[in-house]
Amino acid sequence: MTQGVVDQASAGKADTTSTPTKYVYSFGGGKADGNGRMKDVLGGKGAGLAEMTNAGLPVPPGFTIQTESCREYMRGSVSPKVDAEMHAALDRLEKLQGQKLGTGENPLLVSVRSGAKFSMPGMMDTILNLGLNDKAVEALAKLSNNPRFAYDSYRRLIQMFGDVVLDVPKKKFEHIFDTIKEREGVKFDYELQPDALKEIIVEYKKLVRKETGKDFPQGPLDQLVQARDAVFRSWQNDRAKTYRRINHIDDWLGTAVNVQAMVFGNLGENSGTGVGFTRNPATGEHVFFGEYLMNAQGEDVVSGVRTPLSISELERAMPKVYDHLRAITWKMEKHYRDMQDFEFTIQDGKLYMLQTRNGKRTGLAAVRIAIDMVREGLITQEEAIFRVEPNQLYDFLVPRLIEKGEKIEVLATGLPASPGAAVGQIVFTAEDAVKFHANGAYRTIILVRGETTPEDIAGMEVATGILTSRGGMTSHAAVVTRGMGKCCVAGAGDCTVDEHAKELRVKGHTFKQGDWISLDGTTGRVIAGQLKTLPAQPDDPDLVKFMSWVDPVRKLRIRANADVPRDAKQARLFGAEGIGLCRTEHMFFAEDRIGHMRTMILSENEKDRREALKKLLPMQRADFLGLFKAMESLPVTIRLLDPPLHEFLPQREDLLVEISHLEDTKPRSPKLKELRPLLARVQELHETNPMLGLRGCRLGIAFPEITEMQSRAIFEAAVAVKSKGGDPHLEIMVPLIGSIEEMRNQAAIVRRVAADVFKEKGETVDFMVGTMIELPRAALTADQIAEEAEFFSFGTNDLTQTTFGISRDDINHFLPSYIKQGIFKQDPFATLDQAGVGLLVKMATAKGRNTRPNLKVGICGEHGGDPESVKFCHKIGLNYVSCSPFRLLTARLAAAQAALQEIQTGPDIHSGTC
Ligand code: PEP
Ligand code: MG
């Protein structure tokens, strides 16, 4: 019986598992005990090897020790059956190969690899060439007529085994290796001669003895058992745990262990190894694609030490092997009905397939392959819809970095706040951005800020990309850039942005104004230097065709968050079926408008405020006119003003600095007369928690003239459009409601102003007054609120903030440690917390519809563009999701996948009710 690592916290799970009837599954020699559907038992790799064997492919034989053995190991004791079945399987393997593990003139060598249900690339351990020992290495040297290869294989085994199984620090092996390599004066590992390799082996063995107090095990079976257990243990290493947390993989799945006969691609010029794809993974083109090297091991192909040859060369060099490989790979593609990523080895002119799996691909390739495969009759149109990850559709809408063939230095990784790529010269202030753009000094600009404020808007407009060192997924920079379709990396905490010194300091580098950097807003990476980009392709005919399959399937309507006519037009191009959120305060972000907005907010009395509002009215009316025209008869949801004051007022600290500077240098400056009262008013309005302060409906309740002005602008614009033959569909939305009384107050103003305008103009338009549900109290009393509100839209940015009690602008301070410790699986501002916030959404929807059965319900927080959250919205029966224009394709596809999944598996009754 093998003793394992007991995890006390989870040991109780032992009782719930029944003993399996079979622990070890053989494959090879034309048949396999398992098959491709047994991923739970055999892991992905083991199931794949069984399936490949069943498909008649030339797979080196071996056996898979199933995942339950690993779970037993974690619980502290492995059934004695595991050893017994393993010995029997090894016996079968030895017979099949006509070899004995690590003994005889032709010793069998095996690889021992992990393989969990879900792929966890590189997270767990592997041991190659197992079975070699002092005797077997001599036999191998003789047999292969290649002593260099034999000693190199042995020294690799001692190093891997020492590191993975015996816990001897890898560095110590590397030190020995490098010292001898240097002494021999060789540049590449493969230049080391047999004598030098023998010396390395002697030193390695001494090291093992010194570090462990024992000799390197010479018994092949002993090696095998120890290696198997080390692979079990590697399921619990930190890397693997972190990977599982990030990818939501259950810690209790465990890994299988695959033991497989080694085949060698480095036996001479008639041997080789390579990797390939059945279609081009970057473009989707239907061509055979891959690389190989003769006289090499797998790692040589990917390590970059030798330049691999294109697979088409193989056709010339070994035509028979090439034809065999092509025949096999096409067969695999037909068998798996998907593009395959495969690995092969040629040993002495004989082809072996080591691995095949569905290949990773870009969004462009995913769409093209899905369409081609439907045309070829390999898959159905419905299956094609699942062959593309919703987020991959970004690839069509935004530029992307070209990374292939480039040496990339990632300086920092921030939040992928707005997708796409941006390459440009750094500028540290909005004014500089505007200046250098206007005078043509910089062609493309990256605006780098600690965080952005509305004052930066002009600079953001001219910049190609934005980088901030602070702020989350709903920070100003993130929200505004997503609306603009501009690349943004936000909250890159490793970056120090010194706006005064005009320096960006990161990873030991100092970047100055004018230096080039590249941003990847899809992954959040900040990259040194000037990479090239691929442009967006929103009209790609394959994309258009794919979306024509997607749209008829979904039930959810998809709207866009768009504030100005330009964004609305963009949104329609990307398939928006309405505007789900127009943030009216954003209409005043433009440079010539923000001043009026500020004057209005800073007004000390109603008279001054009305004066300022008068100036804002025609601007708003013109914007609404533009929106209604752009959206024609599609619904447009306009939210009444909701400006968190700190986002719109000058910063108190900046004013203090400016005033004291003027007092020191120009005490008579007339500017001081302007600034001092401004500071006094800013101080008066200062809020400790502006996100919970005078915002949302509170503003319209405290200053009803604001709601009046906005309602007037909306209705005057709508009436004007209608009188010219238009058909505007209006939904007026009151933000941050917590009670029915607040809703009544604001709805009354809206309806009164509507009546006034209709009377004045002699024309009416249909409209609805509804609310955002952004506070837990609104969700809890949704049945009451629905008496007054004609529709609900969940503002899940604020609802997440208020449910968790976490500031949406400050989550970055602790999110990394929350993720690391598994407290959060993901950023709740990016992916809806279904258990908490989602429960409120579900409950409020049900309560609201109890009062008003036809209540239209949508969501307009950032979650409206997140695939998982969209699927949740479908499940709980919302009418629509609304997201930024550049997420529309993603939301459309996610909604279609959710609808199809429901048809295939039936409705999720637990999500649909409460
Ligand atoms: C929300 O809170 O989810 C929302 C859409 O409103 P805002 O982000 O403007 O607060
Ligand atoms: Mg909100």
Mean pLDDT of 372-396: 95
Mind listing the pLDDT tens digit for each residue in 317-357? 999 999 999 999 988 999 899 999 899 999 989 999 988 88
Ligand 2 centre from 910 Cα, in Å? Answer: 28
Which tokens in the block code for residue 15? 């009782």
- Cα–Cα distance for residue pair 639/585, rounded to 1 Å: 9
For ligand 1, say whether the CB of 447 is within 6 Å of any of its atoms: no
Q: What is the pLDDT of residue 684?
A: 84
Mind listing the pLDDT tens digit for each residue in 64-116? 999 999 999 999 888 999 999 999 999 999 999 999 999 999 999 999 999 99
Residues 466, 425 contacting (CB under 8 angstroms): no
Q: What is the pLDDT of residue 860?
A: 98
For ligand 1, say whether the CB of 864 is within 6 Å of any of its atoms: no
User: Considering only CA atoms, which residue is closest to atom 9 of ligand 1?
Assistant: 583
For ligand 1, say whether the CB of 637 is within 6 Å of any of its atoms: no
Q: What is the pLDDT of residue 914?
A: 30
User: Considering only CA atoms, which residue is closest to atom 3 of ligand 1?
Assistant: 795
Q: What is the pLDDT of residue 14?
A: 33
pTM for the structure as a whole: 0.79
User: Considering only CA atoms, which residue is closest to atom 8 of ligand 1?
Assistant: 797
Ligand nearest to the CA of 585: 1
- Cα–Cα distance for residue pair 299/278, rounded to 1 Å: 21
* Residue 434 CA: distances (Å) to CA of 192, 455, 456, 460, 757: 59, 12, 10, 9, 40
Q: Which range, 9-23, 277-291, 871-885, is most confident?
A: 871-885
Catalytic positions are 476, 860
For residue 665, pLDDT over 80 is answered with yes
Q: Which range, 53-57, 440-444, 520-524, 547-551, is most confident?
A: 547-551
Task: Give counts: helices (H), strands (E), the chain.
Answer: 36, 34
Ligand 1 centre from 772 Cα, in Å? Answer: 9
- Cα–Cα distance for residue pair 127/227, rounded to 1 Å: 7
For ligand 1, say whether the CB of 338 is within 6 Å of any of its atoms: no
User: Considering only CA atoms, which residue is closest to atom 1 of ligand 1?
Assistant: 795
- Cα–Cα distance for residue pair 70/253, rounded to 1 Å: 9
Q: What is the pLDDT of residue 129?
A: 93
For ligand 1, say whether the CB of 795 is within 6 Å of any of its atoms: yes
Question: Which residues are CB-contacts of 624 (< 8 A; sequence separation ≥ 6)?
Answer: 638, 713, 714, 717, 718
Ligand 1 centre from 202 Cα, in Å? Answer: 67
* Residue 309 CA: distances (Å) to CA of 290, 299, 302, 860: 9, 14, 12, 51
476 in the Ramachandran plot: left (φ > 0), alpha (ψ -120 to 50) or beta? alpha
For residue 586, pLDDT over 50 is answered with yes
Ligand 2 centre from 733 Cα, in Å? Answer: 11
| Helix intervals (H) in 554-692 | 565-573, 591-602, 606-631, 645-648, 652-665, 671-685
* Residue 382 CA: distances (Å) to CA of 394, 554, 869: 21, 12, 21
Identify which of 871, 878, 886, 876 has the alpha carbon closest to the alpha carbon of residue 909.
Answer: 876
- Cα–Cα distance for residue pair 894/870, rounded to 1 Å: 6
Sign of the CA dihedral running 20, 24, 30, 34: positive
